[in-house]
Structure 1
């Protein structure tokens, strides 16, 4: 969020926004806001998500139009949005492929997490997914084309590429540039809405683990007024604040972002590996036989997710030590999963067989 504020407030403030204490303070304020919205529930959260979605579609329409405005004003000789080039086969390109193939198109299950708070969830979630999927693909392809057309490859801001594109792209367009602060402010609102969706979904997971006796029943307590898992929300909020603060120790903002982003992505991807494995290996004793096309999709998803997990321990930006970067992520993932295994094993001992 501080990176976005740096683009909004200008170069004079950008250096201050990069200070670790500013980032930590902003993170704390954002997390407190997310905790409150999540406790109140979808009666407020749905409006945050809806406004964020509308703003995102609006901003992406502007992003897609931006190169054409540059061509019309003689700032860009030509623009070929769908031109293709064979990528160089390197660890970096494979790393980016994994991030695009998995990271860009994952997340539809977050809608299902809130199914209990929706009207007619089967119909609504199915329809929303069918409509959203092709739109998301177009947004990513055309949006990436716009970034590559206007921002030099070696100068792309991996934390906030869209605000960077808007600031650089609209700057030379005269009167049109006046909308830059509005668009950057909208991007900040979009990021908050996205964080709200992710945070709200994550807070339901400890509650479910509590239902299954993997965690204490304390995590399952609901707010008497809002019927949301208040203790689980507080726990996830505290854990998020702790990890975001620890990630700033001894590193720059870009590296801190990569550490948190990659670690969270790997945690997320491991659940996808289990999901893709179900139709391939997990139904042998069941009467259900998934059709061939489901298995084909599962194989594709499994391979792409394995690529993402295996290469996300490596940074895509210059860092102080690639080895230290990989060890931090690997250590966190291994330690956390060992804790999970221990919790599961303890439940197996507590629950009587038969």
Structure 2
């Protein structure tokens, strides 16, 4: 790697709009105790991998099977974009190793309003996605405990329990968050790797089916399958958002982001390829549990469903454990800067307690509404909104990196690295724009409404901040 001049210490950096001694350096010097512990590289990597890979992987092969094996090409293209985005987050974390991730980067480059939009969008994404993950977990719990699926209220209670158990781990302190994340990541990857790696030994090319199963052109088939796969990599920013809780963030956040993203990509690609080669194409198109069918094809019997259901529940719990922490970190950082209500800035045992409780309460309310009203359509629209709101922080963060490089604030890096960073930033920005396009017109429309609702909140918070400094 080309040598370069190290950036100045965090304490010496001051961005536009940041007052001296501002709490933008969230997490720096955070109080330590028996219940708090900064994440090392392994835990930070598990946080990234665990948040990228939730419960959706267990349905992905069946979801893209109708397009044919050309969907693997779409997966490869998406992986390149996701790794580029991960590398950009790593470089940004070196420059600004602070809790808040995209919020911190957008605010440093473009000021308070852009920072608020990043925080607001990310917060919406987190708590709506948490509700969706919990509801998805109920289907897997129904396989293990049939009584759960007998009535909508037992399903609702199960979904609430799935949300509050990870919240309890978060409220216990960052020490326990890291422990749960490590255990969940190891347990859920065991069966996934069994299929992803072991399945290659049972691979039958005859099961792949047609390369292009639809009448679309090759480009159209790739785009159509990519629309389903696009959001498989949401979560690459996980380590950056929690930078204040990572030891030596300028060094470890970037590494964890890249390692976690590449690790998730390997599991995604090998797992999907193995399932394609284990389950006949016609059966895979109609499969409700493709990984279960793959395990059954490898070893015979019908125990694959139970194994995959256990892995899926563990996977969702691990994802919720990480996303619950992330959902509180961004409003915490914004509250420290006076852009969110100050109550979100409270912290206990290294965890933004109010942010965790409010986020889980909102997700729980949405869950109860979903089961009470039976409004699956409304709930699905809200979930689609998250696919748009998640890309807003990505776009702002990659634009911030382009701004830093174009404005000459490149920390005197070698010209070769400057060109490389610029190319990666442009690629990551294009990838983020593709995410926006793939979310669909309805989701973009609804997402913009959510963003505009946040403008009112910003107006109130900015006015309060102005009165305090006047």
TM tier, shorter chain?
0.7 to 0.9
Q: Relative CO higher for 1 or 2, CA cutoff 8 Å, sep ≥ 6?
A: 2
Q: Are 1:349 and 2:469 matched, yes or no?
A: no
Where in structure 1 are there 5+ consecutive unaligned residues? 158-163, 315-325
Could you report, residue by residue, the CA deviation over 1:240-297 in whole angstroms, capped at 9, with x for unpaired residues?
1123333454444xx5774354222222111101112223356655533882322322
User: Map of 1:1-354 to 2, 5 A cutoff?
Assistant: 1-9=137-145, 13=146, 17=149, 20-65=152-197, 67-68=199-200, 70=202, 78=206, 88-89=216-217, 94-101=223-230, 103-149=231-277, 150=279, 152-157=283-288, 164-171=289-296, 177-178=302-303, 180-223=305-348, 226-248=349-371, 249-252=373-376, 258-281=380-403, 285=407, 287-288=409-410, 291-313=418-440, 326=442, 329-330=443-444, 332-352=446-466
Distance 1:64 1:344 in 2: 46
Q: CA RMSD in A?
A: 3.4
Structure 2: gaps spanning 5 or more residues: 1-136, 412-416
The separation in 2 between residues aligned to 1:154 and 1:80, in whole angstroms, is 11
Aligned partners of 1:266 and 1:312 also within 8 Å: yes
The answer (yes or no) to whether the contact 1:59–1:187 under 8 Å persists in 2 is no
Once the two structures are superposed, residues 118-137 of structure 1 have per-residue CA deviations (whole angstroms, 9 ceiling, x without a partner) of 33333333333343333322
| CA gap 1:130/1:110 in 2 versus in 1, 3 angstroms | closer
Please give the alpha-carbon distance, in whole angstroms, between the structure 2 residues aligned to 1:107 and 1:5.
24
Tell me the alpha carbon deviations over residues 73-121 of structure 1, each in whole angstroms, 9 at most, x when there is no partner: xxx574679x9659835878535414534x2334232113333223333
Aligned length: 321
| Distance in 1 (alpha carbons) for counterparts of 2:385 and 2:151 | 22
Inter-CA distance 126–68: structure 2 relative to 1 (3 Å threshold): closer
Confirm or deny: 8 A CA contact 2:405 2:422 kept in the other structure: no
Deviations 1:42-67 (A, max 9, x none): 21111211112212331222112464
The answer to whether the Cα contact below 8 Å between 2:188 and 2:315 also exists between their aligned partners in 1 is yes
* CA distance in 1: counterparts of 2:168 and 2:418, whole angstroms: 44
SS in 1 for 2:309: helix
Structure 1 residue 3: Cα displacement: 1.3
Give the TM-score normalised by structure 2.
0.59
| TM, length-normalised to structure 1 | 0.76
Q: Deviation at 1:41? A: 2.2
Q: Contact (CA 8 Å) 2:174, 2:351: kept in 1 or not? A: no
> Residues 206 and 219 of structure 1 are in contact (CA less than 8 Å); yes or no, is this contact kept in structure 2?
yes
Preserved CA contact (<8 Å) 1:98 1:307? no
Report the Cα offset of residue 330 of structure 1: 4.9
